[in-house]
Amino acid sequence: MNADRIMALSRAGVAVEVVEETGSTNADLLARAPRLTAPVLLVAEHQTAGRGRAGRSWLSEPGHSLTFSLAWRFAGGLRGLAGLPLAIGVALAETLGRLGQSVQLKWPNDVLKDGDKLAGILVETQVAADGAAWTIVGIGVNLVMPDALEDRIGRSAAAMPWLARMGRDELMATLLDGLAEALALFARDGFAAFVARWNTLHAWQGRPVVLLDRGEVQHEGLAAGVDDTGRLLLDTAAGRVTIVAGDVSLRTKD
C-alpha cells in the first residue's frame, strides 16, 4: 500500500502513513498522541500484536486484511464521546454497503457479514495537556479468511473476497473518507446523529439474547436496539433494562 496514493484518492485531508509491520497501530498512535498536532491514519501491512476489546487479540495475516488506526482530536475532551464506537461502526458498515457489501452491526463494536464477524473496532483515548481528547480508532477488516487463520481464531469468521480484488489504496481511501466524515459529524452532533442508523443496521433486533459477564448470565431478553447514548436496550421479563458497554459478551439464544 502507498501512503501518497491513499492521500491523493481521499477527500479527508488526513495525513497517511503506511508501515510494513508493527505490533499494534493503536499502541503506536497512543504513544505518539502527546506530540500529535493533526489527525493521522496509520496503516500496517501486518500487525503482530493486534488488539481487540477487553484485551482480546485481533489475529490477521499479511495480505489478507486491512489493519489501521486513525487518530482524531476532539476539542471538547472526553465529554460527549458516549456512543463513539457505535458511530464508527455505522460509518464502517455504511461505507462497506456503498461498496456492495451488505453488513450488520452487533453491540457494541462488531461488524457482521452473514452472521459472522467481519471487522472489529477498538477505540482508545488520551487527554492532551489542553484538555482535548485524542481518540485512536483502531479497525481490523477481514478481506480473505484462510482456513489456517480461521482455525487460529477458533470460530467461523467472515471475509470480503470481492473487495479483496479491489485496489487496496482505493479501498483504504474510501474507508478513510467515510470515517472522517462520521467523526466530524459526531464532533458536532454526538451519537444522536447515528442512533437511528445504528438501529437500522442492528443484526439482532428483536431476537432473544443472553448477556454474559465473565461467563455468567446477567440478563436475558429481546434485543431492542440502543438509546441515544449507545446503551443496549434489552426487554426482559422484568421490563426494559439498559446495558452499558463493558467486558461483556452478547449471545443469541436461538
- Give the tens place of pLDDT for each residue, 27-77: 999 999 999 999 999 999 988 865 555 455 555 566 678 999 999 999 989
Q: How many Cβ atoms are within 10 Å of 204's Cβ, its own excluded?
A: 22
The residue extents of the domains of the chain are 3-200, 204-252
For the stretch 128-143, pLDDT in tens is 888 999 999 999 998 8
pLDDT level of residue 247 (50, 70, 90 thresholds): very low
**Would residue 113 show up in a list of annotated catalytic residues for this protein?**
no
Q: How many Cβ atoms are within 10 Å of 227's Cβ, its own excluded?
A: 15
Q: Which residues have CB under 8 Å from 219's CB, separation 6+? A: 210, 211, 234, 236, 241, 243
- Mean residue pLDDT of the chain comes to 86
The reported pTM is 0.89
Cis ω before 39 (30° cut-off from 0) = no
d(CA 191, CA 83): 6
Beta bridge partners of 226: 232
d(CA 203, CA 201): 6
d(CA 135, CA 30): 9
The CATH H-level superfamily of 3-200 is Bira Bifunctional Protein; Domain 2 (3.30.930.10)
Average pLDDT score over residue span 12-23: 95
Select which of 53, 106, 113, 168 is catalytic: 53
Select which of 106, 113, 117, 168 is catalytic: 117
Give the model's pLDDT for residue 115.
87
Best mean pLDDT range from 116-120, 155-159, 161-165: 116-120
Average pLDDT score over residue span 151-168: 72
pLDDT level of residue 24 (50, 70, 90 thresholds): very high
Residue percentage of the chain with pLDDT more than 70? 85
Average pLDDT score over residue span 160-179: 90
Buried/exposed 14-27: b ≥16 CB within 10 Å, e otherwise: bebbbeeebebbbb
Select which of 165, 207, 240, 251 is catalytic: 251
d(CA 30, CA 51): 13
Average pLDDT score over residue span 168-183: 96
Give the model's pLDDT for residue 112.
94
d(CA 252, CA 254): 6
Average pLDDT score over residue span 220-248: 86
**Would residue 98 show up in a list of annotated catalytic residues for this protein?**
no
Residue recorded with cell 501518497: 4
pLDDT level of residue 155 (50, 70, 90 thresholds): low
- Choosing among 3.30.1360.120, 3.30.390.50, 2.30.30.100, 3.30.70.260, the CATH entry for 204-252 is 2.30.30.100
pLDDT above 70: residue 233? yes
**Would residue 251 show up in a list of annotated catalytic residues for this protein?**
yes
